Amino acid sequence: MRDFFSKRLSRRRLIGAATRASGALAAASLLPQRVFAADNVIKIGFLAPLTGDVAAWGKPGLDGCRIWGEWMNAAGGVDIGDDNYHFEFVAYDNEYDPGKARAGATQLIHEDGVKFIMMLGGDTWPGVQPVADNTGMLFSTLLPSDLSPETTTLLAPAEVHPIYNVTGVDWLARNRPELENYVICAQDDALGIPSVATYLAAFEAAGIEALDDPLLFDPATTDFAPVVTRMLSAKPDIVCLDTAYTDYVHPICEQLYLQGFEGQIISCTADFYDKIIERTSVEFAEGLVFQFPDFDDPALETQGVNFREPNRFFEEYNQRHPGEWGAVSWEYASIMDLWTAAAVKAGSVEPDAVLAAMKEGGTGLHAFGEADWWGNELFGIDNALVGNWPVVVIENGKAVIKEFGNIPEWWSKHGDLLVKHMEAFGQMHYQRG
């Protein structure tokens, strides 16, 4: 090696070194990547973006699953039927591309022999849907807008995005009755649009007036000054950031701060909110309402919450991945709790048996309490697990759960409004694609 650097780097030497390195890489790639001692290993597929713009909603979830798996295995695994099993997660980076998601799904099913595949969903699900239909594999998504009556093996067991956003608006209307109007902006994509429809329904149900049409910006936007200027020109009491990616939420908040906004902010997510506070101030962020708690919140250690040791999980996660806790860090792990309970109940790890056990009785234990399998009116199939969802507010620079809002209760009163706005944006299952 010293010899390599001591001589002048020439084209021939570089090509030679590159060829040898490529050979070594190729040889290493043929070696087995995973070694596991236990005989009975349940392989679980993790098919989500681990690189690229959307990786923030994939990678932290995989990190959370690995902690969950280590805890389960350290506790001796789980007894399913007559056997004891350990867990292994097999990840495939789909780069948020439907073609790569399809290749990943086939690898996980045909080569890795997984029994269940967790996905972020969204743009990648349509590429995987034919694979699900052809193989009968059980899949989960974080985005229930992927659900459709055609695919019965796709579940949304953790996150009912964007329906839970109604709980934040409902809480705001009850606790800040002086707020009378709002403006909303969102990126014009598969995640932003159904969320806009949900917020419009929630604000209408709460009697809060829209000052302008939703401002839909292109996902390629990097300069948010004009977006914020236009929103603030209406002098709103509330600025709603919809379900925006971290790369949008942070600069929009910074612009709101710079342009002197002192009103209420509501957002679906506020991942890495400490960075928002760094770029603005503790006073500016005070009262920001969103939907994803830190798991060190004492409210999560109360009865009815079905996530295993949330405070310890949060501590462990932050030790291993400091500063990376986000909206999805716990969600995939909570899906694993649900899947494991169903597999134990079914006495089998086979997808059809687990699915039947999971949906038996029409209810399930969601992370935030008992919930119903629901969704026929919106998605054409009752495959979304819907119950309570936390409303989180930033107080003194820290996220605090204020209450657990009840989504089915809101739906029973205002479901027609949600259907109306979803239809207006072409988001009902019979309007898609």
Partner 1 sequence: MAERRTLGAAFALSLVVALAALPHLLTYSQQEILVFLVINVLLVMSYRFLALTGEWSLGHVVMMGVGAYASALAAKRLGFPVPIAMLAGAAVSAAVAWVLSFPLFRMKGFYFLIGSFAAGEVIRLLWKRFRDPFGGPKGLKRIPEIADIEWGVLQVDFFNPVAYYYFCLAVVSLSLWLLWRLERSSIGLTFHAVHWHDGLAASVGVDTRRYRTLALVVASAFAGLSGALFAHYVGAINPTRFNIEEMVYVLTWAIVGGTATFYGPILGVVMLTVLNEVVLRKMGLEQARPLVYGAILIAFVMFLPRGLESVVPRLARLRLRRPGSARA
Q: In a 3-state reduction of DSSP, which class is residue 92?
A: strand
Q: Are the CB atoms for 249 and 228 separated by under 8 Å?
A: no
Size of residue set near partner 1 by CB under 8 A: 44
**Cβ-based neighbours of 9, under 8 Å, separated by 6 or more:** none
Subset of residues 204 to 223 that bind partner 1, contact rule: CB under 8 A:
218-220
* The two structure tokens encoding residue 38: 């236990």
Q: Where are the beta strands (DSSP E) in 201-241?
A: 209-210, 215-217, 238-240
Shortest distance in whole angstroms from residue 13 CB to partner 1:
9
From 87-95, 197-205, 281-289, 310-318, span contacting partner 1 (CB under 8 A): 87-95
If one asks whether residue 98 binds partner 1 (CB under 8 A), the answer comes out as yes
* The two structure tokens encoding residue 219: 């996902």
Cross-strand bridge partners of residue 406: 388
From 28-36, 77-85, 255-263, 305-313, span contacting partner 1 (CB under 8 A): 28-36
Closer to partner 1 at the Cβ: 93 or 296?
93
Q: How far apart are CA 372 and CA 163, in angstroms?
A: 14
Cross-strand bridge partners of residue 118: 46, 140
Q: Are the CB atoms for 146 and 374 separated by under 8 Å?
A: no
Of positions 4, 14, 40, 81, contacts partner 1 by CB under 8 A: 14
Q: Are the CB atoms for 411 and 205 separated by under 8 Å?
A: no
Shortest distance in whole angstroms from residue 62 CB to partner 1:
12
Q: How far apart are CA 165 and CA 290, in angstroms?
A: 8
Shortest distance in whole angstroms from residue 354 CB to partner 1:
23
Of positions 1, 26, 35, 74, contacts partner 1 by CB under 8 A: 26
Q: Which residue has the tokens 């780069």?
A: 95
Of positions 104, 162, 214, 387, contacts partner 1 by CB under 8 A: 104
Shortest distance in whole angstroms from residue 48 CB to partner 1:
12
Shortest distance in whole angstroms from residue 389 CB to partner 1:
24
Q: Are the CB atoms for 340 and 78 separated by under 8 Å?
A: yes
**Alpha carbon distances (Å) from 76 to 38, 72, 85:** 11, 7, 8
* The two structure tokens encoding residue 333: 């792990």
From 78-86, 91-99, 203-211, 328-336, span contacting partner 1 (CB under 8 A): 91-99
* The two structure tokens encoding residue 432: 């898609």
HSE of 234 in the Cβ direction (CA atoms, 13 Å)?
A: 21
Q: How far apart are CA 19 and CA 227, in angstroms?
A: 50
Subset of residues 119 to 138 that bind partner 1, contact rule: CB under 8 A:
123, 126-127, 129-130, 134
Subset of residues 360 to 419 that bind partner 1, contact rule: CB under 8 A:
none
Shortest distance in whole angstroms from residue 98 CB to partner 1:
5
If one asks whether residue 90 binds partner 1 (CB under 8 A), the answer comes out as no
If one asks whether residue 149 binds partner 1 (CB under 8 A), the answer comes out as no
From 101-109, 291-299, 320-328, 391-399, span contacting partner 1 (CB under 8 A): 101-109
Q: How far apart are CA 94 and CA 52, in angstroms?
A: 10
Subset of residues 169 to 198 that bind partner 1, contact rule: CB under 8 A:
188-190, 192-193
Shortest distance in whole angstroms from residue 136 CB to partner 1:
14
If one asks whether residue 318 binds partner 1 (CB under 8 A), the answer comes out as no
If one asks whether residue 30 binds partner 1 (CB under 8 A), the answer comes out as yes
Q: How far apart are CA 101 and CA 130, in angstroms?
A: 11
> Applying CB under 8 A, which residues contact partner 1?
11, 14-15, 18, 22, 25-26, 28-30, 33, 50-51, 92-93, 95-99, 102-104, 106-107, 110-111, 123, 126-127, 129-130, 134, 188-190, 192-193, 218-220, 426, 432-433
